[in-house]
Amino acid sequence: MEFTLQQLKQYDGSDPSKPIYVAVKGRIFDVTTGKSFYGPGGAYYMFAGKDASRALAKMSKNEEDVIASLDGLTDKEMGVLSDWEKKFEAKYPIVGTVSN
């Protein structure tokens, strides 16, 4: 399935009847099984319903970093993002992609 960033926001954990999704490099993962992390009050709740690529690369929880843009990231940060992507792939199912 394809989601716009606007549609993705509906899956931020605020509605308990919907799954929780986080996008990494345009691929959307169903992180509902990790709701203690990504659900309301969780340590990574700010990533829910968003593409968190930049924030993961920078190991940042700052709101301005919770975006898809990879512009200006260092090789080290891109490596960190790749590691996160592998962790997501191993743990959570991919349910779709983010459309432009």
Give me the tens of pLDDT residue by residue for the chain, a chain 100 residues long: 999 999 999 999 999 999 999 999 999 999 999 999 999 999 999 999 999 999 999 999 999 999 999 999 999 999 999 999 999 999 999 999 999 7
pLDDT per residue as tens digits for the range 47-76: 999 999 999 999 999 999 999 999 999 999
Using a 10 angstrom Cβ sphere, with 0-12 exposed, 13-18 middle and 19 or more buried, the burial of residue 41 is exposed
List Cβ<8 Å contacts ≥24 apart for 57-62: 57/81, 57/84
| Torsion of the alpha carbons at 83, 52, 100 and 2, rounded to the nearest 10 | 80
Q: What residue has token string 């996160």?
A: 84
pLDDT the model gives residue 3: 97
Q: Give, rounded to a whole angstrom, the gap between the first and last alpha carbons of the chain.
A: 13
